[in-house]
Amino acid sequence: MAGLSINLIALQLFTGLALGAIYVLFAIGLSLIFGMLTVVNFAHGAFYMIGAYAGVYIFMLGGDFWICLILVPLAVGLFGLAVERVLIRPLYGRGIDYPLLLTFGLSYVMVELIRIAFGKTGFPFDTPENLQGAVNIGVGYFPLYRLFVIGATAAVLLALWLFLEKTSFGLIIRAGARDPQIVRVLGVDVARVWLIVFGVGTAIAGLAGLLAAPLQGVIPEMGSTILAEAFVVTVVGGMGSIGGAVLAGLLVGVVVSMTSLFAPEMGKVSIFALMALVLIVRPQGFFGRAGLMS
């Protein structure tokens, strides 16, 4: 097996980490929103797709990738704030299924609006100029852009960690996740906290869509595929756990790319096999609390 050297496997591992980085970004937003609001956001894939299209639009206006990196999360996050305020807030206290069903309907509307505005066929998305080419990472040449995706994800995670652990607002969010009732009694405006959490979660989804665009192109349906895969990530990692989302996201990325190396046609199926295994051995996921399951 000369073709399958250690270096090739190591490179494939890095490819998996870059893919996993996208899953991580997508899943932490999903997990954050579920952990705080107990809303399963079925429109998360649509926000991800909107992020990629916002990037396409900014390019059309003559912007470059670095402007996109700032503007796309802002724009998608603002849209997320509006969605929470207008559509999801009336549904709190009406059962856990309703926000899920609403966001499901919303995803149809968002995808169709994008089809109307940008057409049914997708767009290619060029790798930004300064990030083209490959660098030697010791085991071989690795595309610079994928390295950038891993780095950007690490930066977002660090910023999110600092925000949640080191700021007083982060403290309120963590307390709100534990017991919203007590936090409300203490005089905190919980509705505002939830609003902001939804905004942050969707902003990160938009960023994930933008980062994924040069890797896989931009089509209106790009969100529904990753949504199913992100559910696998959250089930494996444990719903509502950010650490679980990070670990499981990277693991799923590596499993996909490793399976693609040895059995290309099984790449997509492998992650569902992983989920089935986790469900049998540890149904609450790596870091899930058993209570959150019910």
Partner 1 sequence: MSWFQFATRHRAGIASIVVLVFPHIMPFTALAVNILIYGLYALGFNLVYGYLGLLSFGHAALFGTGAYLCGIAVVHFALPWYLAIAIGVLGGLLMAAMIGVLAIRTRGIYFAMVTMALSQCVYYLFYQAVDWTGGENGLRGINVRAVNILGVKLDFIDPLTRYYVIAAFVIAAFFLLSRILASPFGAVIEAVRENETRAKASGYDVTATRLITFVLSGGFCGLAGALQALHLSIVPIEIMHYDTSGIVVMIALLGGMGTFFGPMIGAAAFLMLENLVAVWTVHWQLIVGAVFMICVLFFPAGIWGTLISRGKR
Least separation in angstroms between CB 268 and partner 1:
5
> Applying CB under 8 A, what is the total number of residues that bind partner 1?
45
Contacting partner 1 (CB under 8 A), which of 15, 41, 107, 241?
107
Of residues 140, 37, 132, the one with CA closest to residue 84: 37
Beta bridge partners of 134: 143
Helix (H) or strand (E) holding 141: strand 141-143
Interface residues for partner 1 in 171-230 (CB under 8 A)?
224, 227-229
Site for partner 1 in 24-63 (CB under 8 A): 34, 38, 40
**Residue 286 binding partner 1, by CB under 8 A:** no
Which region, judged by CB under 8 A, interacts with partner 1, from 56-64, 67-75, 107-115, 134-142?
107-115
Token pair 């040069």: residue: 214
CB of 232 to partner 1, least distance (A): 5
Which residues have C-beta within 8 Å of that of residue 292, sequence separation ≥ 6?
238, 239, 240, 284
65 contacts: CB under 8 Å, gap ≥ 6: 55, 128, 131
What is the distance between the alpha carbons of residues 217 and 124, in angstroms, rounded to a whole number? 5
Angstrom distance (rounded) from CA 231 to CA 233: 5
Q: Which residues contact 31 (CB under 8 A, 6 or more apart)?
A: 234, 237, 239, 240, 241, 242, 244, 245
From the list 9, 82, 112, 140, which residue makes contact with partner 1 (rule: CB under 8 A)? 112
Q: Which is nearer to partner 1, 105 or 133 (CB)?
A: 105
Candidates 74-82, 133-141, 232-240, 245-253: pick the segment binding partner 1 (CB under 8 A): 232-240
The reply on whether position 262 binds partner 1 by CB under 8 A is: no
Report if residue 117 touches partner 1, rule: CB under 8 A. no
Residue with tokens 């499993």: 255
Residues at the interface with partner 1 (CB under 8 A): 34, 38, 40, 87, 90-91, 94, 96-98, 100-102, 104-109, 111-113, 115-116, 224, 227-229, 231-232, 234-235, 239, 265, 268-269, 272-273, 275-276, 279-280, 283, 293-294
